[in-house]
């Protein structure tokens, strides 16, 4: 009886610990206390995902392509039901370069409607760099990331040291309360 009660108390008091990762098919949710990220990677070591810090989230691409921090580029996005041109801004987070995708809602709608998503980025040579990503598990992973970000934002306990994050005014950022998935 005592073991059963202890087990129930452990389940009730379950909390996400910093650095916990959870897989949802081809997507990973990485929960780091102050930040939450849901992402997938492809065979070329590029990644695509949503990153949340405080009450703001953004979609990003992380590729081997070099870009200048602060520079804006055009990118073509394609999924099963949606093709559109997006803007992306090169942003340095920690020691890595990420391309922040904008507008947020266009990317979210593409993620919700397809099995795969692709991005074509114009290169200086005039060619396009194309990356494709699986969306298997993306809806559940993004829901979990948004839920964990909301919980982290509501905690009154002092958070661990801040993780590297994009500037607060990054294009493509959307408030948690404005995201429906």
Mean pLDDT, to the nearest integer, of 160-164? 55
Separation of alpha carbons 48 and 68, rounded Å: 19
Report which of residues 34 and 116 the model is more confident about: 116
Query: What is the pLDDT, as a whole number, of residue 168?
Result: 59
Strand 116-122 to strand 128-134: parallel, antiparallel, or no bridges (unpaired)? Answer: antiparallel
Quick check: 26 pLDDT over 70?
yes
Tokens of 115: 């099995």
Q: Mind spelling out the 3-state secondary structure of 122-141? A: ECCCCCEEEEEEECCCHHHH
Query: What is the pLDDT, as a whole number, of residue 6?
Result: 27
Q: What is the pTM of this model?
A: 0.77
Separation of alpha carbons 39 and 6, rounded Å: 35
Quick check: 152 pLDDT over 90?
no
Separation of alpha carbons 36 and 155, rounded Å: 14
Mean pLDDT, to the nearest integer, of 21-45? 94
Backbone phi and psi for residue 44, each to the nearest 5 degrees, phi listed first:
-90, 15
Query: What is the pLDDT, as a whole number, of residue 59?
Result: 97
Architecture of domain 18-156: Sandwich (2.60)
Mean pLDDT, to the nearest integer, of 141-147? 95
Report which of residues 164 and 20 the model is more confident about: 20
| Ramachandran class of 65: left when φ > 0, alpha when ψ lies in -120 to 50, beta otherwise | beta
Domain boundaries, the chain: 18-156
Judge whether 61 and 97 are in contact, CB under 8 Å.
no
Sequence-ordered list of residues with C-beta below 8 angstroms from that of 99, at least 6 positions apart, any chain: 60, 61, 62, 63, 65, 67, 73, 75, 88, 89, 90, 91, 121
Sequence-ordered list of residues with C-beta below 8 angstroms from that of 54, at least 6 positions apart, any chain: 34, 153
Query: What is the pLDDT, as a whole number, of residue 157?
Result: 46
**Crossing angle, helix 104-113 and helix 138-154, to 10 degrees?**
140
Alpha-carbon distances of 174 from 141, 144, 146, 149, rounded to whole Å: 17, 16, 11, 13
């Amino acid at each position: 009886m005592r073991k059963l009660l202890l087990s129930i108390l452990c389940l009730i008091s379950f909390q996400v610990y910093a650095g916990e990762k959870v897989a949802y098919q081809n997507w990973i949710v990485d929960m780091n206390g102050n930040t939450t990220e849901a992402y997938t990677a492809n065979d070329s070591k590029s990644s695509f995902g949503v990153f949340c810090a405080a009450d703001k989230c953004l979609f990003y691409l992380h590729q081997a392509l070099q870009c200048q921090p602060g520079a804006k580029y055009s990118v073509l996005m394609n999924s099963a039901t949606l093709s559109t041109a997006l803007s992306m801004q090169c942003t340095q987070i920690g020691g890595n370069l990420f391309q922040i995708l904008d507008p947020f809602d266009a990317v979210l709608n593409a993620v919700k409607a397809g099995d795969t998503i692709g991005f074509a980025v114009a290169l200086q040579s005039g060619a396009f760099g194309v990356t494709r990503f699986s969306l298997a598990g993306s809806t559940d992973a993004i829901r979990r990331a948004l839920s964990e970000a909301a919980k982290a934002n509501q905690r009154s306990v002092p958070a661990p040291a801040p993780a590297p994050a994009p500037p607060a005014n990054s294009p493509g950022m959307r408030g948690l309360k404005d995201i429906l998935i």
